[in-house]
Structure 1
Amino acid sequence: MEFKIEHTWDSLPVSHEPVTVRLKSGSAGLLMEVSAPFFNDPPAPLGEPGKPFSGLWDYEVVEAFFLSETTKRYLEVELCPHGQHLLLLLSGRRRVWKQELALTFEVSRTETKWEGRAHLPWSYFPPCTDKFNAFAIHGSEAKRTYEALYPVPQHEIQKGQKPDFHRLEFFKQLNLKVLMGEDWKQPESDLWMSTD
């Protein structure tokens, strides 16, 4: 599955080559691949590459959200071109209950592009994952740019509204059986069972 982030959060076209997010079946999980322009703005976070970094959303990142529409539980994956990552498990909109999960994440970068590969274990996905959205953020201060795969439609935008990636109502269908095969069933997650 391949997705291109071609709009800003408020449905305007992006002014550069779009960020591409690919999802592939991996061993015991999903492989998420990112191919994106490298803006190097803002500068790299001070955290060690390969480790979780709290507050990564304040830097240059590509994000993917995997949602169970019925329970409103979701996995938020943030990947940075400098090698840091942040994974959050949320139970209800903006309600983080677990964060800074471990992740196998590799990055390669040139002066103008970066690519990342992250292995997302099934245990991180909420049961019945069926919705998805992806985002990209870069730039500093007035040049800060927020992009969305499934943006807020123009007619829904209120005066003075700010970007909010937790607008779950704008997420769209994700059928993992397309990747995994018709007979596939999402493995149960001990991690998510601990929230019941």
Structure 2
Amino acid sequence: MRHVDAELINAIKSAGCFDLSLGLESGSQRILDSIHKGFKIEQAIKAVKTIKDNSDISVSGLFILGLPGETHQDIMATIKFACSLPIDFAQFSIFTPYPGSPLFDKLVANGELDTGIRPNGRVDTSVWTRYAQYIMFKDVDPIWTPEGMTPSQLRSYQKRAMRSFYLRPRQILRQVKRLRYDNFWKVLRIIRRGFY
């Protein structure tokens, strides 16, 4: 985010770039700092504005709901942040602590996450089956939820985020203007994920 400027955008557009996905993650600076994103919310806002002011590149914002330490207020701030940006698409994923990641290791060390490895050395495959089902977008509970939040609440926030972002009149108009055959199917997939 810190390095996005008109020169960079013109260069990537000249190289044929037509779509950028930005890992914006959260609308809470406290959460961004806790996951070491390395940018300020103001820098993200400026980066998106720079892209939109200097090109017709489509911008997708990628957000994560349910990060460690996140509160209900943080999630609402993320939804509000996403809706305030002039981005074309938004993806709201539920945090999944993957093995090998620093957050996975931290949650295991704190006793907040079951690795599936039992004292006898055997692996409880039901723990890992949940990861596989989650990857395939099955209707399963999140692998982990922040303290004070239930899996059901987290899924509800995800649906609320999708509805809040995609059902705004400005967003609907933006998508209708951009609608081409290939975008039509992308929009339908996004809407289906958010409402079912």
| TM-score relative to the length of structure 2 | 0.24
Between structure 1 and structure 2, the one with the greater Rg is: 2
Specify which structure has the bigger relative contact order, considering alpha-carbon pairs within 8 angstroms and separated by 6 or more residues: 1
Which one has the bigger helix percentage?
A: 2
